[in-house]
């Protein structure tokens, strides 16, 4: 009973005097500063660069490139070794023409092409990283 | 639960009217800033944290579902921001011991405070509140100044009801002890002049 009484008195005391404490007011340009930051965020959102080639696109390109290199360097022989089991064999409706039949490329040329392509991809990656950094800064 | 007025502006912001957010900032800036001041005690830090609170609220506005008042939701962001800031700049408090509280003591302190002018009392209360540990000060501010309900404070602070009640009671007791200690010289000088 006595304990409750003094809790009530203490509560009334706090209620009476805390309400009298001065309220703090922020600076005059508080709202405009926030709105400026928000406007800046909005502008950044408007320009959201999308990559020209997606990850799937890159995978597809690399796969095609690898197949081309292998086909040109090893000739048809490498593909002929991949034989399907008897049950999956079918008669093709359309025979693909052997486009590279009469083309012969030296190994030096192939190595040069390979490294040149690799260099282009590295440069693409480096340029992309650099422009991304510039745009996000 | 959010007032219709707030919800109208929230909807406008979500539809792309950025300027509508200025209304919400204007409405709640004093509330958020006062809480930050009570928790951090530094004007510069309080201003920075309050601005950050509004920017976070703007970015996460789509996550506000209106289950609670917009002010409670905003208060929660501000409270979390202040806590993070306090963790970064951990301050060690020299806690005032809590003296034994009697009804007589409450009445005598009340009588003395009544003698002081309202303006002086406001300054004295601000000083006394600043001497409380930041958590107790914040809880008292939420409960008595902003008149938040226990339910709302529980939602903001994530304390259990019993824990909150205990902390509030301890805060009230410590405040009375601090006020009593601070008004003694005031009282003596006041009567000394008479």
Looking at the fold, whether B84 and B49 belong to one and the same domain comes out as: yes
Residues from chain B that touch A42, judged by Cβ atoms under 8 A, are 18
Whichever domain contains B53, its CATH number is 1.10.1740.10
Q: Is A24 within the bounds of a domain?
A: no
Tell me, yes or no, whether B81 and B112 share the same domain: no
**Shortest Cα distance, chain A CAs vs residue B114, angstroms:** 10
Contact B58, B13 (CB under 8 A): yes
Q: Would you say B44 and B35 are in contact if contact means Cβ atoms under 8 Å apart?
A: no
Answer yes or no: is B170 within a domain: yes
With respect to residue A46, please indicate whether it lies within any of the assigned structural domains.
no
- How many domains does chain A divide into? 1
Query: Cβ contact (<8 Å) for B22 and A35?
Result: yes
Q: What is the largest CA-CA distance in chain B?
A: 66
Residue span of the structural domain in which A132 resides? 68-83+90-136
In this predicted structure, the answer to whether residue A133 has a pLDDT above a threshold of 50 is: yes
Question: Are the Cβ atoms of A22 and B22 closer than 8 angstroms?
Answer: no
Residue A115 maps to a domain = yes
| B113, B174: one domain | yes
Residue of A nearest to B36 (CA): A24
**Domain count for chain B:** 2
The answer to whether residues B107 and B189 belong to one domain is yes
Q: What is the pTM of this model?
A: 0.64
- What is the rounded distance in angstroms from the CA atom of residue B138 to the CA atom of residue B133? 9
Same domain? For B128 and B189 the reply is yes
Q: What is the pLDDT of residue B103?
A: 76
**In the structure, what pLDDT confidence band is assigned to residue A111 with cuts at 50, 70 and 90?**
confident
In this structure, what CATH number is given to the domain that contains residue B189? 1.20.140.160
| Distance in Å, alpha carbon of B95 to nearest chain A alpha carbon | 19
Let me know if residue B97 belongs to a domain: no
Chain B nearest-CA distance from A48, in A, is: 17
Q: Which of B88, B115, B135 is the last residue of a domain?
A: B88
* Domain edge (last residue) among B40, B64, B88: B88
Q: How far apart are CA A47 and CA B130, in angstroms?
A: 46
At residue B98, φ and ψ (nearest 5 deg) are -95, 120
Are the CB atoms for B168 and B92 separated by under 8 Å? no
Residue B49 lies in a domain: yes
**Residue B46 is part of which domain span?**
4-88
According to the model, what pLDDT value does residue A136 have? Answer: 66
Q: CB B25 to CB A26 under 8 A?
A: no
- Residues B176, B182: Cα–Cα separation, whole Å: 10
Q: Going along B94-182, which residue ranges are E strands? A: none
Question: Is B98 inside a domain boundary?
Answer: no
Q: Which residues of chain B neighbour A11 with C-beta distances below 8 Å?
A: 172
Position with higher pLDDT, A81 vs B170: B170
Q: Are B121 and B187 in contact (CB under 8 A)?
A: no
| Average pLDDT for A26-50 | 81
CA distance B81 to A81: 65
Q: Are A23 and B34 in contact (CB under 8 A)?
A: yes
What is residue A92's predicted lDDT score, i.e. its pLDDT?
Answer: 65
Question: Which of B39, B60, B88 is where one domain is finished?
Answer: B88
Q: Is A31 part of the contact surface with chain B (CB cutoff 8 Å)?
A: yes
The pLDDT score that the predictor gives to residue A77 is: 61
Mean pLDDT of A53-63: 87
Instruction: Assign B82 to helix, strand or coil.
Output: helix
Averaged pLDDT, groups of 10, chain B, 194 residues long: 75 88 92 90 90 93 86 92 84 62 78 81 85 89 90 92 92 88 65 45
The answer to whether residue B142 is domain-embedded is yes
Q: How far is B70 from chain A (nearest CA, A)?
A: 18
Residue of B nearest to A34 (CA): B51
Task: Say if CB B34 and CB A16 are below 8 A apart.
Answer: no
Distance CA A114, CA A40 (A): 45
Non-local (6+) Cβ contacts of B48 within 8 A are none
Cβ contacts of residue A39 below 8 Å, gap of 6+?
A: B18
Judging contacts by C-beta atoms under 8 Å, the chain B residues touching residue A24 are 30, 33-34, 37-38, 43, 46
Does residue A21 lie in a domain region? no
* CB contact (8 A) between residue A34 and residue B54: yes
A-B interface: how many C-beta pairs under 8 angstroms?
106
In a domain, A119, yes or no: yes
B16 and B48 in a common domain? yes
Asked if residue A23 is part of any domain, the answer here is no
Per-residue pLDDT tens for A59-76? 998 898 888 877 776 666
pLDDT tier at A25, thresholds 50, 70, 90: confident
Q: Å from A52 to nearest chain B CA?
A: 28
Is B134 a member of any domain?
Answer: yes
| B64 contacts: CB under 8 Å, gap ≥ 6 | B10, B57, B70, B73
- Residue B93 within any structural domain of the chain: no
Q: Which two tokens stand for residue A36?
A: 């400026």
CA distance A33 to B26: 12
| Residue A9 is assigned to a structural domain of this protein | no
Residue B187: inside a domain: yes
Residue A103 lies in a domain: yes
The residues, ordered by sequence, that sit 6+ positions from B7 with a Cβ below 8 Å of its Cβ are: B66, B70
pLDDT score, position A135: 72
Angle at the Cα of B150 from the Cα atoms of B104 and A4, rounded to 5 degrees: 30
């Amino acid at each position: 009973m006595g304990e409750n009484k003094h809790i009530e008195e203490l509560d009334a005391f706090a209620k009476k005097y805390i309400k009298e404490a001065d309220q703090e007011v922020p600076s005059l340009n508080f709202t405009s500063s926030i709105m400026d930051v928000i406007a800046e965020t909005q502008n950044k959102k408007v320009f959201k660069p999308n990559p020209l080639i997606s990850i799937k696109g890159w995978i597809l390109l690399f796969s095609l490139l690898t197949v081309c290199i292998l086909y040109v360097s090893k000739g048809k022989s490498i593909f002929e070794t991949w034989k399907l089991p008897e049950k999956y064999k079918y008669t093709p409706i359309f025979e693909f023409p052997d486009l590279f039949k009469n083309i012969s490329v030296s190994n030096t040329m192939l190595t040069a092409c390979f490294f040149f392509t690799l260099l282009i991809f590295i440069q693409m990656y480096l340029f992309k990283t650099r422009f991304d950094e510039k745009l996000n800064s | 639960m959010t007032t219709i007025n707030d919800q109208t502006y929230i909807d406008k912001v979500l539809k792309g009217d950025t300027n509508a957010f200025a209304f919400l900032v204007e409405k709640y800036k004093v509330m958020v800033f006062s809480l930050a001041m009570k928790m951090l005690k530094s004007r510069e830090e309080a201003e920075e944290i309050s601005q950050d609170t509004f920017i976070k609220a703007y970015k996460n506005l789509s996550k506000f579902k209106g289950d609670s008042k917009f002010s409670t939701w905003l208060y929660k962001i501000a409270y979390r921001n202040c806590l993070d800031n306090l963790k970064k700049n951990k301050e060690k408090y020299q806690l005032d011991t809590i003296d034994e509280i009697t009804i007589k003591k409450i009445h005598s302190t009340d009588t003395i405070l009544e003698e002081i002018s309202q303006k002086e009392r406001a300054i004295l209360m601000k000083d006394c509140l600043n001497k409380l540990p930041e958590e107790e000060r914040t809880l008292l501010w939420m409960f008595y100044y902003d008149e938040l309900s226990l339910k709302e404070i529980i939602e903001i602070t994530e304390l259990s009801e019993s824990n909150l009640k205990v902390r509030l009671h301890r805060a009230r007791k410590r405040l009375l002890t601090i006020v009593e200690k601070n008004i003694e010289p005031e009282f003596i000088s006041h009567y000394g002049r008479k």
